[in-house]
Amino acid sequence: MSVSALALALVQPAQLRAQEFFDHVCPSFWWTGMKWSRLQILFHAQHDLQHAEVSTSYPGVRILQVHHVENPHYVFVDLQIEPNAKPGEVPLHFRLDEQHSFVYAYHLYPRHRGDGKTRAMGINSGDFIYLLMPDRFANGDTTNDRVAGMLDQSLYRDSLTARHGGDLQGVIDHLDYLKNLGITAIWMTPVLENNEAHASYHGYAFTDHYRVDPRLGSNALYRELVTTAHQKGIKIIQDIVLNHVGEQHWFVRDLPMHDWLHQWPHYTNTTYRESPLFDPYAAASDQKQMSDGWFTPFMPDLNQRNPYLANYLIQNAIWWVEYAGVDAFRIDTYIYCDLDFMNRFNAALLREFPRLHLFGETWVHGVLPQAYFVRNKLHIPYHANLPGVCDFQWCFAVQHAFTEKNGWTSGVVEPYLTLAQDFVYEDPMKNVIFLDNHDMSRIYSIVGQDIRKFESAFTLLLTSRGIPQMYYGDEILMKGVSAPDGLVRKDFPGGWPDDAVNKFTETGRTDTENMAFHFIQNLAQFRQQSEALRYGKLMQYLPEANVYVYFRYTSSETVMIAVNGNADPVSVSTDRFAARLHGYHHAYDVLHHQTIEDISQFQLAPYGSLVWQLKP
């Protein structure tokens, strides 16, 4: 007799407490009126469920199938929730054997019936995203810095890999700061439980898909953050990981079935090389290692070709949107997932929430490789349906513009050449553009702590096509080179009660830091009222003498942008831009808050930039 069977034998039928019998029920509840109406519920217990029979008698709900799998601790139950089903407790009758049976009350809630303007709103080119790491941003609740029973009990702010104590309450406390900066959307690195023994702060090693990490807060607090942010006009982007989990995930510790993970005879790492996925001459073994190899030895690789796991991941994502009302998903390690599954995932989410935005992490090199993974105009066998990507090609181009010598394909011509290839995308405005992130060196360090280059880089970020995203602390010139990553993930000064300085306030910042803050704030706030910068068309001119000029325009507004990639000042005649300047004679200088009476020429300081709102 197995241990679980023996334990069950010792329990009298009357002692079976249904709601406590299972260790995990996923999803723990659902809603009526959902398009995803065929629901597959995972039940997990430390008892033998191999012969469990399940039935129900609830109007509008039918059990379609009960699946018994390799591990007897699991049973999967398929429910059909009809349009006429009412909210309430659905009695699921479990019969384990002749002596043991009970009723599990599965709750159906009414679906949120909003107008789509207050939750699950999506993000678009009119937004400005702020990326932050909750553990490193602000500590709003010191009582959850350590949580009893969790494996990582570290709390050492001088350590690059230990937990520092930042949390969701810290984000809530600083929503007004972000709104004042001009931010309209927040992307937090993952907030779900990471009950790992080491380096659990970053969030990318899930150990429970349905639970916010208690050191960050709770599910209820996360929903409160979303609601409060929405009230302030700020959207929330959830960072989701579909490729892997943490090695301490409860379903890794007790696998439902062998092929729940990608299994190899011996440990096999991914190659991190995406080219075999689209290479017409690729070896099948290279394709398999790229997709099925593990990202790290400590992050078990999920096999999305397993239909039970595929349902689990799709339902979990739908659950978080309906539960919390998040507006978008940034999908981590997108290119390492099974791409056919990703198409099904994207389709299911957008069918349920048409306004939701999805953008994937596609850290590749080259516009064509990047376009392969997103909706594109390429006539190729794989038809991606991902709406947008993290536009690494734009990021690399702008970084190079201020770090490489001027040449035929280098200098400020590189951003120009990158955007010139936008013909491959179905809608490049849905791509998220950025200068740095939590895995890269900070932009202020990349440009050699040159405030002129820093400001021009942000000029490009806030005026180019796409959805701009900045990394927390860039507005106060935080520095760091990603060797290791912890050096770019330092605490925001002022986010902890005992911090010596508070850079969330103007008085806590240096003059140079305030210069950077106000530069970004000024341009971000102007962008909020500029239709041209948010939604307008783009016309760019081939850079000459390492000066890049382009226009964003609508039928009622035109904004001219120029960036000097030279260490010397330049003077440029605007005759060449007559097609876009026609009908305009003056300009409002956005960066210096002054009127320009003569637009026949302009001057730029070394590595300087200008933003002109043209006037008749």
User: Which positions are catalytic?
Assistant: 332, 361
Kindly report the three-state secondary structure assignment for every residue of 58-91.
ECCEEEEEEEECCCCCEEEEEEEECCCCCCEEEE
The encoded tokens of residue 427 equal 């809608």
Alpha helices of 482-592 — where are they, by DSSP H?
Answer: 511-528, 531-535, 578-581
β-strands 235-241, 208-212: how paired? unpaired
Q: Which of these, 431, 450, 460, lies nearest to 520 by C-alpha position?
A: 460
Which residues does 200 contact at the CB level (< 8 Å), separation at least 6? Answer: 150, 151, 152, 163, 194, 213, 246
Contact in structure between 559 and 463 (CB atoms under 8 Å): yes
Cα 371 to the chain's mean position, in Å?
Answer: 18
- Could you write out the DSSP letters of every residue in 330-360? EEETGGGS-HHHHHHHHHHHHHH-TT-EEEE
CA distance 264 to 561: 53
β-strands 101-110, 29-32: how paired? parallel
Contact in structure between 538 and 552 (CB atoms under 8 Å): yes
CA distance 51 to 453: 67
CA distance 54 to 32: 21
The encoded tokens of residue 522 equal 């000024």
Buried b (16+ CB within 10 A) or exposed e, 217-235: bebebbbbbbeebbeeebb
Burial of 616 per CB tally in 10 Å (0-12, 13-18, 19+): exposed
Q: Please report, as a single letter, which amino acid is at residue 129.
A: I
CA distance 436 to 442: 6
**CA-to-CA dists, residue 496 to 171, 188, 203, 413, 488, angstroms:** 12, 18, 20, 43, 18
Contact in structure between 362 and 389 (CB atoms under 8 Å): yes
3-state DSSP percent of the chain in helix, strand and coil, to 5:
30, 25, 45
